[in-house]
Structure 1
Amino acid sequence: MTKSRIILFASLVVALAVLANIVSTAPSKVELGPLLKLGEQYDVRIIRDEFGVPHIYGTRDADTAFGLAYAQAEDDFATLQEVILATRGQLAAVRGADAAKTDYLIRLMGVWEAVEAGYDTKLSQTARDIAQAYADGINLYAAQNPHLVEDFVLPLTGKDLIAGFTFKLPLFYGFDAELTALFDGTPRELALRGDSALTFTDSKQPERGSQGVAIAPHKSTDGKTRLLVNSHQPLTGPVAWYEARLHSEEGWDMAGATFPGSPVILHGHNRYLGWSSTVNKPDLVDVYQLTLNPQNDNQYLLDGQWLDFETRPAEILVRVWGPFRWTFSEPLYFSRHGPVLKLEHGTFAIRWAGMGEIRTLDQYLALNKASSMAEFEAALAIGSQPSINQVYADAEGNIAHYYNAMFPRRIEGWDWQKDLPGDLSQLIWDAYLPFSQVPATRNPPSGFVFNANNSPYLSSVGPGQPLPQNFSPTMGIETGVTNRALRLRRLLSSTDKISKEDFYAIKYDVFYDEDLEAVKQLKAFIAKGKQELPPSLHAAFDLLASWDLGTQRDNRAAALAVLTLSPLIDSRHRRDDVHISEELRAAQNYLQSAFSRIDPLYGEVMRHERGAKNWPLDGGPDVLRAVYTEENPEGGYRRNVAGDSYIMFVEWDKNGKVSSRAIHNFGSATLDESSPHYADQAPLFAEHQDRPVRLELEDVLAHASRDYRP
């Protein structure tokens, strides 16, 4: 055979191999016909109000879930399918190698093993029906718009939605950062916005903060019970808020917000009660250092015996180029503790709160349908939500804060916040503490409760708050305090009674508190004077010294101050590794470069951007008017990317009648720039304005912009 024929033959073999690969790894063909008929199974009506917010009216709960999914797909289908692909561990098959670590994490966490094992036995029939109905709503929209659908997405099933809870909720208390820090000591997190969403990154991610405040009738000037629902999330992406109003003839009657892929309202209110969710981060992850058998590194020591690791392959399909994909396989190891990482500097096993937990949808449904404090607490007692604070209020005038989490039942006498020896089975916990042992503040004499991602030991003032000595150190309860918590304590306790206007003013407070560690460090820095600073920083020092701790739009010292202090402000504990003089120099250089002066108006620097428009903002990091920004690559200003997003003010009058007002950071049309609802709420948001939440059908119809059935 001649050389040219050999080359031709080899090329043909390679081409056939590539073709075989493309065929074998291609997604299965999905028949759209059955999906297009899914609407026939559900009786639901979607009414969009004047701001495009969907009000879903279904006969059954499942009908309402179907309608919610369809409406959400209309507004944000791209994010929905990204969430589904990530939850399935198929993101790399579409996005490429950058997403492979996310797919690996799904397998390491055993998400789908847990779902497959317990879907039919641990989850209620109601939850399964709602999950499938939500999946069907997305399926219908996708079938109607096949040009928008990525490979491997269709068809969705209810299991996809349940797996989403199992995967995502531990990330809120920082499981991903704890896990990845084991590799080289550098925490990495799943990106929550932008092109890198749902892939691992070492870039600083937008803050997942939040605050909730509840006011009892005796603390209000008008005798009303009030609740502030004010979670701080990225403004776009897989954990950005989507507003909806849900109603079914089976008793589902909620208003509030949810995330892409969540078939329930995650926080908001019904007729009887409401709650605001805030992130908490108790110690819920345990790392064990394993001892390997020198003769067999697939065995580990436990109670004096060598035990075999359970092993299984993690097969990950990765898009390499165009339609060409390749399946990569990595071994997974499991010990009695949990998943195992074999690393150069040691072998570690991991155990975390919520591992294998699939009942979260049942808990959220119970919260959505609760009609009293007792029913709300019974829902929390289901114990399937790994973490998240709840600030509560109801029509009866009750208020409460729950430092809710799945606290492992750990033995005393060990420092559980450090690595643990892996050879003692007594350190492998297998149960959680009951809800009765969760730190909580119920109806304190002060007449108010709050949480702003701070310790539960500061939830009000005076008696009624949890006391540290009543809780085991094995629970790993946070002790840190945020600026927002300090401001809430100061503002809520500064007057005997709080009016509606006071309540709004407190929410939109734009100041840093004098008791904040960062402010104390700033004052100490200023007290030393500028004599040790280079002359080039003297003007900036004088401006910083003149700052009134506010972030008003017309404040000329605030931009320099906030940029200088951000590394200190973002921490819930004192930091001594930050040099204020260096941060001051960097802030000065940025402002001089971008604005040709070091004292631009704060509102010129901090902007709320949507499409081609932007508006001036007040507020800042860890301020009650929470604004977290990044530098705009196309302009000198900094654009708002996280913080205040969906804000809801709820009140019950003396007769128990509920009403509420809300505002979204942008609008209901998440991705459609041609929609009038793409940015219609953005200018209101920037101006501290809101709009009514329409709870009655007659009111919704009177202001309807669209009325249809999927």
Structure 2
Amino acid sequence: MLSAAAVAQSAQPAEIAAWQARAAAVTIIRDEWGVPHIYGKTDADAAFGMLYAQCEDNYWQVEESAVRKLGRLAELYGEKELGSDASMAVRQTAARARQAYREGPAGLRQLCDAAAAGINYYLHTHPEVPRRLLTRYESWHLLLQPAPDGANHGITAAERRRLGLGGGGAGGEGVEGWEQQQESGSNAIALAPSKTTTGHSLLLINPHVGFFGDNQRYEAHLVSEQGLNASGFAMLGQFWIWSGFTATTAWAHTNTAADYDDVYQETFDHPKDSTLYCYGRGYRRAVVWTDTLAYQTPAGQQRRVYRFLRTHHGPAIARRGAAWLTVRGATESFGRYAWQAWLMSKAPTLARFKAAMNQRQLLSNTMFADARGNIAYWHGNAVPRRDPAFNWTQPVDGSNPRTEWRGRHSLRSLAQIVNPASGWLQNCNSTPFQAAGPGSPEPGRYPAYLAYDPQTFRAVEAVRQLGTAGPLSPEGLWLLACSPRLPMYAAWLPQVLAASDRQLTRRPELRAELQAVTDTLRRWDCRSGVHSRATTLAFAWGQQYSAYLNQLFPPTVPYYAPGIAAYLHGLQLPVSDSLAVAFLRSAAAELTARYGSPWVPWGEVNRLQRIHSSGSQEKFADSRPSLPVGSFAGSAGSLFAFRTRPEKAQQRQYGIGGNTYVAVVELGPRVRARSVVNFGQSADPASPHYFDQAPLYATYQLKEAWYYQQDVLSHARRSYHPGQ
């Protein structure tokens, strides 16, 4: 840990005076939930205040995220993190951030300068806060973002490890990748005035991400005298509102399987020069370089030299047999990505919002609604144009010039819907071709790589409800978003029970073991709830099923591949009678072994507990307070997704991902929003805002998200300038 004296030496008097002048122009108002409403004269003032407030609430994670993206985790945690650091080094994350800052527009550089100053001023005014590694933040640190890792194209963690690379792999490796995608995606629903009881557009913002680490959502409200007035959430360490609302617009993002990166199989077979790789009828020379990475040991810091290479497609990030696998991403500059997100947060109209979207830098889907009654959806954003003759879900031949990109798809050529006749739009990490009911786009009009997404069980439930519901109030939209119905079990459970009936007829000796179990499930309405014993049985069956699929499919199969589709989101149970019943027997036996009985209420098992961070030594514990949660994993179709991680040493299992920040926004003459986060605003266990929103979250309640200054002031608990 670094001393306060070391930190103080890094700031010069003139710089401190500049920070103090900036701080005097910024006012942070904390409401009754600790949410910061940040007011500044300029946009840069707001960025300064945003990072200062984030540091107040969770500096540990701000630093942790920066250290990881800088490729310096091993300096904190030792040799076990060298693979993660090497992954950043081969993708040249730091160099790309420096370049993005140098080449970015002046407005972006001003925002980065101010945001970095906000962190540095926080450290200057809080010498007691531990500095584990970083004593000063540079402007380009705000643009640190890893490049793609190729996981969605079948590259596995094992193949990366052959080059000494770690990290990555989430969201792309077979069945486990599917489950992670469902809990690390999002829901978004937009309703036109014709579909609401108030006659105003509504938008549901509902990201599903991890509860710990880089993906934590941070609720904030940014206001400046330069036209900025955006409320919603940011990622820790970033200065813009990623999903949120203004007085006239609201927007949300969901993860997408639109293909924004590609993996190339490169052949190095030159008889004399190992740096030459095949291309066309000849060879090209790879760029080869070395990087020295530091790591901490009990004896002090040690260093290891890595050798990396890149072709014209991108860095080599894996080995498959004799071939090198390189990856290319559509968004090469995170600066342009950040600038587009900033412009979207200031757009007062659909036309201005589309103009920002037309920069085509984002790697996500976007849902939109405005006060004029417009609703819109774009599937993907930064999508390269390719030759559709190739299978882009897997590595393609890097030596074939036909696999080169042909520019980028225009915004108008993406799958999209504006003001559908149905009056509603939904995306639950799902296909755009059912996003608006009968008025959805026709898949035949688009190349496959624009939308590999399946129709997820969450989307099945959203479409079912939206297609039959009458006009909805904001409260009605929230009730829809909290639906406890699990469409996977609604589709599969009757088939499991029929299989069990057939098995019991053939093998009556199983009746004593299974009859009570099947009777319990037969009475179940396929809705999760804290008091439901059938929900616990269904979860245990699903765990057995997932384990079977992980053996059945290799990790090189992307979750959206046709061969795996029926097993993950098909309406027909894709296993035999004997397997379906075997899973049920194993589920009941495991529950009995763990709890002494298969009749365990779901709320006794499924819990919400806050720990400091997944990177700390603090672990979940049954002895510590926690709250029951009735929701279920999103892979089964739970719109309110709640993913847990069973612990061998614990009776209960605790949430690690799913619903985080959630908001319902009504875009009337005066915008109104209600929101909740899964824990609370502050990561300090001593803060009243450490876990204060958790009881709301666990019981499906929202709080007011104050927007207008008079309302903010009416509910203010503290008002101050940074540094006070």
Q: TM-score range by the shorter chain?
A: 0.7 to 0.9
The whole-number CA distance in structure 2 between the counterparts of 1:55 and 1:404 is 31
The structural deviation recorded for 1:66 is 0.6
The whole-number CA distance in structure 2 between the counterparts of 1:282 and 1:350 is 19
**What one-letter code is carried by the residue in structure 1 that aligns with 2:447?**
S
Choose which of 641, 647, 665 in structure 2 pairs with 1:650.
665
Choose which of 474, 478, 482 in structure 1 pairs with 2:456.
482
The structural deviation recorded for 1:304 is 1.7
Q: What secondary structure sits across from 1:242 in the alignment?
A: strand
- Counterpart of 2:283 in structure 1 is 306
Write out aligned runs for 1:331-342 (5 A): 331-341=307-317
Choose which of 7, 26, 37 in structure 2 pairs with 1:55.
37
- Counterpart of 1:182 in structure 2 is 159
- Counterpart of 2:352 in structure 1 is 375
The whole-number CA distance in structure 1 between the counterparts of 2:138 and 2:227 is 25
**What one-letter code is carried by the residue in structure 2 that aligns with 1:41?**
R
The whole-number CA distance in structure 1 between the counterparts of 2:10 and 2:167 is 37
Contact 1:618 1:625 in 2 (8 A): no
1:447/1:476 CA distance change after superposition, 3 Å? closer
The structural deviation recorded for 1:668 is 0.6
Instruction: With a CA cutoff of 8 Å and minimum separation of 6, indicate the structure with the bigger relative contact order.
Output: 2
Contact 1:518 1:574 in 2 (8 A): no
Contact 1:216 1:226 in 2 (8 A): yes
Write out aligned runs for 1:176-575 (5 A): 178=155, 180=157, 182-183=159-160, 190=168, 207-291=183-267, 292-321=269-298, 324-341=300-317, 343=319, 345-354=321-330, 356-358=332-334, 359-385=336-362, 387-429=363-405, 431-463=407-439, 465-473=440-448, 475-513=449-487, 518-519=492-493, 522=496, 525-526=499-500, 528-531=502-505, 534=510, 536-566=513-543, 573-575=565-567
Q: What secondary structure sits across from 1:212 in the alignment?
A: strand
- Counterpart of 2:698 in structure 1 is 686
Matched residue count: 666
Contact 1:176 1:188 in 2 (8 A): no
Does residue 156 of structure 1 match 2:137? yes
User: 5+ residue gaps in structure 2?
Assistant: 1-5, 171-175, 550-558, 568-573, 612-623
Q: What secondary structure sits across from 1:557 in the alignment?
A: helix
1:86/1:203 CA distance change after superposition, 3 Å? farther
Contact 2:608 2:626 in 1 (8 A): yes
Does residue 131 of structure 1 match 2:107? no
Does residue 616 of structure 1 match 2:628? yes
The whole-number CA distance in structure 2 between the counterparts of 1:688 and 1:696 is 25
- Counterpart of 1:640 in structure 2 is 655
The whole-number CA distance in structure 1 between the counterparts of 2:692 and 2:482 is 21
Contact 1:56 1:245 in 2 (8 A): yes
1:175/1:319 CA distance change after superposition, 3 Å? farther
Q: What secondary structure sits across from 2:432 in the alignment?
A: coil
Q: What secondary structure sits across from 2:660 in the alignment?
A: strand
**What one-letter code is carried by the residue in structure 1 that aligns with 2:610?**
R
The structural deviation recorded for 1:521 is 5.5
The structural deviation recorded for 1:301 is 1.4
The whole-number CA distance in structure 2 between the counterparts of 1:627 and 1:185 is 34
The whole-number CA distance in structure 2 between the counterparts of 1:442 and 1:566 is 40
**What one-letter code is carried by the residue in structure 2 that aligns with 1:347?**
A
The whole-number CA distance in structure 1 between the counterparts of 2:384 and 2:367 is 22
Q: Which whole-Å deviations, capped at 9, do the CAs of 1:461-485 have from their partners, x for residues lacking one? A: 112x121111013x25224121110
1:174/1:309 CA distance change after superposition, 3 Å? closer
The structural deviation recorded for 1:487 is 0.7
Contact 1:176 1:190 in 2 (8 A): no
**What one-letter code is carried by the residue in structure 1 that aligns with 2:670?**
K
Q: What secondary structure sits across from 2:434 in the alignment?
A: coil
Q: What secondary structure sits across from 1:83 in the alignment?
A: helix
Choose which of 663, 673, 678 in structure 2 pairs with 1:665.
678
Deviates more, 1:150-159 or 1:132-141: 150-159
Deviates more, 1:536-545 or 1:181-190: 181-190
The whole-number CA distance in structure 1 between the counterparts of 2:633 and 2:64 is 29
The whole-number CA distance in structure 2 between the counterparts of 1:451 and 1:344 is 35
The structural deviation recorded for 1:586 is 4.2
The structural deviation recorded for 1:545 is 3.6
Q: Which whole-Å deviations, capped at 9, do the CAs of 1:356-410 have from their partners, x for residues lacking one? A: 223111101110001111111111111111x211111110111111112321221
Choose which of 103, 116, 119 in structure 1 pairs with 2:85.
103
Q: Which whole-Å deviations, capped at 9, do the CAs of 1:133-185 have from their partners, x for residues lacking one? A: 11111112223334534454121112111123xx17x47x9569736363489
Contact 2:42 2:225 in 1 (8 A): yes
- Counterpart of 2:28 in structure 1 is 46
Contact 2:349 2:370 in 1 (8 A): yes
- Counterpart of 2:556 in structure 1 is none
The whole-number CA distance in structure 1 between the counterparts of 2:497 and 2:586 is 19
Q: What secondary structure sits across from 1:349 in the alignment?
A: strand
Contact 2:540 2:591 in 1 (8 A): no
1:373/1:204 CA distance change after superposition, 3 Å? closer
TM-score with structure 1 length normalisation? Answer: 0.87
1:353/1:308 CA distance change after superposition, 3 Å? closer
1:234/1:407 CA distance change after superposition, 3 Å? same
Deviates more, 1:269-278 or 1:286-295: 286-295
Contact 2:84 2:166 in 1 (8 A): no
The whole-number CA distance in structure 2 between the counterparts of 1:362 and 1:679 is 33
**What one-letter code is carried by the residue in structure 2 that aligns with 1:467?**
E
1:91/1:641 CA distance change after superposition, 3 Å? same
Q: CA RMSD in A?
A: 3.0
Q: Which whole-Å deviations, capped at 9, do the CAs of 1:104-148 have from their partners, x for residues lacking one? A: 111222323333334222x11111111121111111222333453
The structural deviation recorded for 1:92 is 1.4
The structural deviation recorded for 1:522 is 3.6
The structural deviation recorded for 1:54 is 0.6
**What one-letter code is carried by the residue in structure 1 that aligns with 2:206?**
N
The whole-number CA distance in structure 1 between the counterparts of 2:535 and 2:11 is 56
1:325/1:434 CA distance change after superposition, 3 Å? same
Contact 1:189 1:202 in 2 (8 A): no
The whole-number CA distance in structure 2 between the counterparts of 1:551 and 1:509 is 9
Write out aligned runs for 1:26-37 (5 A): 30-32=9-11, 34=13, 36-37=16-17
Does residue 604 of structure 1 match 2:585? no
The whole-number CA distance in structure 2 between the counterparts of 1:253 and 1:235 is 27
Q: What secondary structure sits across from 1:120 in the alignment?
A: helix
The structural deviation recorded for 1:502 is 2.5
The whole-number CA distance in structure 2 between the counterparts of 1:584 and 1:30 is 64
